Structure 1
């Protein structure tokens, strides 16, 4: 999507189709979201096939929908690609489970992903990122968006226990899950792409678990840790391990590449911001937060109302689907001054909710923040300039805001 808004003066919300994929590949959803926040903070849409959903676009309303599982359940599905069909993994898949079960599983997994725990991986992650950036420094064209798809696997593969030979395939499969209509990843219809990728990912983790049980012992990986997780006195079943492993793989591979590409693109378009960060590396953590706010790679999440709920000046009926637009909330002018300005010195950038909000706040956020900080530290110290070498191409997805191509030319920084 374009990351800066149009005027919005001629937008008719009655005719807006938030399921129109062209809106995200070449259109301007921010102009529409701006109008929705002002005029229709609770927006209702009925699709041609009869499915319907409500949208919230204001920061406070998005946080309420994502934060209160008693009003808005995750157990019927959380992504818009499943609208109208209850998630068969509800109550088992971590992302489609409400507290208290969600809390118990999350606590056991999250103990391995705290800021203190991931800090011990900093040197390993930095070495991986240095290797990743080396090809960009030869003065040739480097497609950052395309290459960055592999970045989370390079960083988290060893942590998860995934062998390098499987990284490419798993990255492709997770992209198919999140952008099943994008021609780069589509295999047949959207439904077929989703079915194939879901099946292959769950099968991969299932087979991984079987091999680990045969091998015995522990390898210290995060997936291995899942095999010892208990909910109460009961170990997770192999099916639950496979589903939660699938969820972790998706979370690890999906958003970081698009945050990297979106933030680098913003810096290229604003060389004064690039220079400011380069002159003061202490700004890098805030640069990462602003990049997360600006890119909002996880564009939205879906919930279902448990009962009739008053919100945004209207009512969502019981069992109604509601889409919480994170990309809009992160540009809410009531929370962020000049929200369509990319500013690495923004004082409240960390209020962004790119990692979600509430019980389902991204469990891998500490690792993602560490990865982004190291990435931009290395980028700024290594390159004196970065320029576009072609037109960016945006992901064809209404769930993930990102790029499939961002060709750049980088010049190594001259040392004194």
Structure 2
């Protein structure tokens, strides 16, 4: 069963000139939603990540304290949570600071009320997913997919991951420029997702397409783009419903869809919840790993002393993986909503307040990481990063991401591959996904 990619927009639409122009036009026509550049603490604006100038803004906030209130932004008012210890504290109180989609979920986006939806002539489009649920429902659904990511499963999958990685690396041209993002990062992570889902191999790039549309929070500000995204995600749901129907007639297998079908917690999901969990697993498995794969290459180019350490000391690779995840932080933030009034680090938090936990700030916290803006693959506490979150919502696929990154570095080292950034570097224009759209590189040997 092969299908064509949805025709509404090209795959490279995310952060393309067309998307940026549409968003800029919307904000110009709706000044009440425009970014308040006079408020440097409004870090919801995606230009600071696209232009890679977010670091001093967060550094200044961390120096002033753990929490900072932003009264007005295109996403409404919110609290910035910027210090490592503060984020861990908020994440450790999931009943008080909720992840539930019913309050707004895990991104900075606002949840429109019924009156506003009625005024706009729109129907509610929610995508419940277990990362955007509270206990006990979160617990049951997470336990359903967790067996796919146990140490035993990682050991079982390693040889296949290594073989696929090696085969791809052996096709890379030496001395010729190519795009690392498309050629390596997307291909490896999309292939891994296809295996996890038991997804038709010939259609695997649809997973990247869906991931890009699902992970771009700014699109929701523009009604036409948001409705286009909803249509694309509905097509995704229809595709997976066909896989679900086929898999339900087969013997249970190790793929994620089979695990959902044969579990009490997820077998009776409604279509919206099914789509929500697909988005979670696709974005979690695609964007995070692929952007760290690109971030590793870019960081080694920025810090040639660390690349030399990697080349001379392959035993540092496991720690280098943790340090590169810390340095890149592929998802910039997660959001929580206060379920009641509370005092937090001396600030009065009101019921319904939105708290945005900026992981990329926590992973540069000077109180935890010495010289945090430098890549240091010998860093003793690199594992203290919270790029995967903290507490009950810590990324269920963290082990798989670490495995893929370790294998990539080991196979690159085995081939004595040195990757230099020689061409265009384009970052994702988004405040949620933190990564690269293009990375022009040239390979040589050390």
**TM-score relative to the length of structure 1:** 0.88
What residue is the counterpart of 2:304 in the other structure?
Answer: 271
Query: In the alignment, does 2:203 pair up with 1:166?
Result: yes
Sort the Cα spacing of 1:264 and 1:18 in 2 relative to 1 into closer, same or farther, 3 A: same
Find the aligned partners of 2:191 and 2:335 in 1 and give their Cα distance.
Answer: 30
Sort the Cα spacing of 1:224 and 1:370 in 2 relative to 1 into closer, same or farther, 3 A: same
Q: 2:53 aligns with which of 22, 28, 52?
A: 28
Sort the Cα spacing of 1:382 and 1:331 in 2 relative to 1 into closer, same or farther, 3 A: same
Query: In the alignment, does 2:290 pair up with 1:253?
Result: no
Equivalent positions of 1:2-401 (< 5 A) are: 14-47=39-72, 51-75=76-100, 76-80=103-107, 82-85=109-112, 89=126, 92-147=128-183, 148-179=185-216, 189-213=224-248, 215-231=249-265, 235-237=267-269, 239=271, 240-401=273-434
SS in 2 for 1:110: helix
Sort the Cα spacing of 1:166 and 1:77 in 2 relative to 1 into closer, same or farther, 3 A: farther
Q: Is the 8 A contact 2:425 2:438 kept in 1?
A: yes
Find the aligned partners of 1:379 and 1:261 in 2 and give their Cα distance.
Answer: 13
Gaps of 5+ in 1: 1-11
Between 54-63 and 150-159, the greater mean CA deviation after superposition: 150-159
SS in 2 for 1:391: strand
Q: Is the 8 A contact 2:417 2:445 kept in 1?
A: yes
RMSD after superposition: 2.4
CA-to-aligned-CA distance 1:213-232 (integer Å, 9 cap, x gap): 3x33234312111111123x
**Displacement after TM superposition at 1:50 (Å):** 7.7
**Displacement after TM superposition at 1:290 (Å):** 0.3
Find the aligned partners of 1:33 and 1:140 in 2 and give their Cα distance.
Answer: 38
CA-to-aligned-CA distance 1:49-96 (integer Å, 9 cap, x gap): 682111100001111222321111111233435324389647x42121
Sort the Cα spacing of 1:238 and 1:166 in 2 relative to 1 into closer, same or farther, 3 A: farther
Find the aligned partners of 1:378 and 1:27 in 2 and give their Cα distance.
Answer: 29
**Displacement after TM superposition at 1:38 (Å):** 1.2
Find the aligned partners of 1:54 and 1:257 in 2 and give their Cα distance.
Answer: 29
**Displacement after TM superposition at 1:338 (Å):** 1.1
CA-to-aligned-CA distance 1:292-320 (integer Å, 9 cap, x gap): 00000011001101112222331221111
Q: Is the 8 A contact 2:98 2:337 kept in 1?
A: yes
Sort the Cα spacing of 1:393 and 1:189 in 2 relative to 1 into closer, same or farther, 3 A: farther
Q: Is the 8 A contact 1:205 1:246 kept in 2?
A: no
What residue is the counterpart of 1:7 in the other structure?
Answer: none
Sort the Cα spacing of 1:242 and 1:191 in 2 relative to 1 into closer, same or farther, 3 A: closer
Gaps of 5+ in 2: 1-36, 114-123
**Displacement after TM superposition at 1:241 (Å):** 4.2
Find the aligned partners of 1:200 and 1:66 in 2 and give their Cα distance.
Answer: 34
